[in-house]
Structure formats: structure tokens, C-alpha cells
Amino acid sequence: MSRNVSVVSRTRTDTRERVLTAGLRLFTRHGYFNTTTHDIARESRVSIGAIYHHFRDKEGIARGVYTMLLERMVDIIQDIHRLHSSTHDRCRALMAVLFKLAEEEPEAMEFMLHAKHREFLPTETPVCSSKPFAMMRDFVREGAQRGEIRAIDPMVASVSLFGGAIRMIIARLDGVVERALPEYLDEVWACGWRAVAP
């Protein structure tokens, strides 16, 4: 529509986004409870008043960060679903993306994987029952139906296929792994696939 409206909404979402970005960085780096709203104001260069104009409370910021990341993740997984047809290719592409993301946006990864959200987002479901994880399990379940992976408990198949990768990411984020994750992709994938291949 008119240019003016778009300008306003851009500034508006811009402020929101700055707060979310600062929140993500600070929450990840120091933890939710070691981050004050004033820290976020300073880091985002948005005033306290503006923050409370956009978010109900501190928890609202965390919730905003969390859903932003989850939605992004869901998009990525849907793309993968669209782009590949076999279970093997889908899961492998997913693992590759996870490794890449962990290197490019370690803070986002850490926030999604490592943070124990229930401690400060009591109403959210735990990460591993969140949508992205459920979609991951759906990949596997479908694969089992099609006979592309062995007929075992779907949950077991899912953690066996991706568990190694996720532990690897966590280890990397904790500084226990030295080389970049994509360098390990082939080996980790081979192990995961062996675990569930028919």
C-alpha cells in the first residue's frame, strides 16, 4: 500500500527485531536470569519504555525469541521435505543443515537446544516435543512405513538417527570439538544411518 505505512511498520518491526536479537545474544551468552531488561535495553539501543511497549514483560521477550527460532526452523524443515523425497535424503539434508546452522548461528542453536526453557517459559512445551523435533520424528516414522528404515520403535529410530548429530552439536557448542561440524558430517551421517538402515 502506501509507502508511509510500510515505513512505519518497518521501524516498528525493526525495534522489535533489535530487542529479539539482543535478547537472543544475551540470554545465550549469560543466561536468562543473568540478563536484566536493562542489559537488553543497552545492547539493543532501545529504551526500557520502548521494550515494554512491544513486550508484555521479560518473559515475553524470551517467548518471542523462542518462537522466532522455532518458526525459522520449521520453514527450513519444510523446505527440505519439499526438496527431497526419500527418507535417506531428507534426513541427511536435515543433518547437514543443522551442522551448518550450528556453525553460522551458534547462539540460535544453543538457545534452541541447550537452554532449559521450562525454567523461564513455564508454559512452553519442552524443546524435544516442539514442532521441529516432531517433524524430525515424522520423517523417520514415514521412512519406517515405507520400509526405508528398519521396523523399530519410531522414537528409538529417531533418537538413534539424529542423537549422535545432536550430541555432536552440543559438544561443539561447549567447545569440546575443535574442527567445524560439517567436516564430521559424512562420518556422523554414516553412523546414524547404519543404526537404522534396513
Partner DNA sequence: TTGATGAGAACGAATGCTCGTTCTAGTATA
Partner DNA sequence: TATACTAGAACGAGCATTCGTTCTCATCAA
Give the interface with a second copy as residue ranges (CB under 8 A). Answer: 30-34, 114-116, 118-120, 126-129, 152-153, 155-157, 159-160, 162-168, 170-171, 174-177, 184, 187-188, 191-192, 194-196
- Alpha carbon distance 25, 9 (integer Å): 24
- Alpha carbon distance 15, 11 (integer Å): 6
Stretch that binds DNA, among 43-51, 81-89, 102-110, 140-148 (CB under 7 A): 43-51
Work out whether 35 is an interface residue with DNA (CB under 7 A): yes
- Alpha carbon distance 176, 181 (integer Å): 12
- Alpha carbon distance 174, 172 (integer Å): 5
- The set of residues, in sequence order, having a beta carbon less than 8 Å from that of 70 and lying 6+ positions away, is 112, 130, 131, 132
The footprint of DNA on this chain (CB under 7 A) covers a number of residues equal to 28
167, interface contact from DNA, a second copy, none, CB < 5-8 Å by kind: a second copy
Q: Which of 43, 59, 107, 124 binds DNA (CB under 7 A)?
A: 59
Is the separation of the CB atoms in 181 and 114 below 8 Å?
Answer: no
Is the separation of the CB atoms in 51 and 18 below 8 Å?
Answer: no
Which residue, 46 or 165, has its beta carbon nearer to a second copy? 165
Which residue, 5 or 176, has its beta carbon nearer to DNA? 5
How far apart are CB 196 and a second copy at their closest, in Å? Answer: 6
Q: Which of 23, 27, 58, 102 binds DNA (CB under 7 A)?
A: 58
